[in-house]
């Protein structure tokens, strides 16, 4: 089992910045990918950014150029630096970690952290 602990959400004015972090802990595991998703009220959960073991990254078009995902492999921690925040970025942000054990991939989710951007 892998436990994810998120931090860094909050209330910020439009144009401001926040940095989210998500630390993974548990028994021996091999991380395949770490990323962030978000879900706004009344909307489906969507991918924000993801980084694979090989540091390949993918971003939602809506956050390209404003958000940056990074990892600290020694700490099993993934970060999301969010700059130039907009009211439409308001959502609950969830950390996601995929681990592998042989041929099986396991998906884990954090508890979510609220990000609110005021206009």
Percent of the chain clearing pLDDT 70 (strictly above): 100
The string of DSSP codes covering 60-72 is: -GGGTTTEEEEEE
Tokens of 100: 């592998």
Quick: pLDDT tens for 26-40.
Answer: 877 788 899 999 999
Work out the average pLDDT over 104-109: 92
pLDDT tens-digit map of 50-83: 998 777 999 999 999 999 999 998 899 999 999 9
* 15-44-71 Cα angle (round to 5): 60
């Amino acid at each position: 089992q892998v436990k994810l602990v998120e931090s860094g959400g909050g209330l910020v004015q439009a144009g401001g910045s926040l940095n989210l972090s998500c630390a993974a802990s548990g028994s021996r595991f091999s991380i395949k990918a770490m990323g962030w998703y978000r879900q706004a009220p009344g909307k489906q959960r969507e991918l924000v950014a993801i980084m694979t073991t090989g540091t390949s990254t993918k971003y939602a078009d809506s956050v390209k150029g404003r958000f940056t995902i990074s990892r600290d492999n020694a700490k099993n921690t993934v970060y999301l630096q969010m700059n130039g925040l907009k009211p439409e970025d308001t959502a609950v942000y969830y950390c996601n970690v995929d681990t592998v054990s042989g041929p099986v991939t396991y998906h884990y989710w954090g508890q979510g952290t609220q990000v609110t951007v005021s206009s």
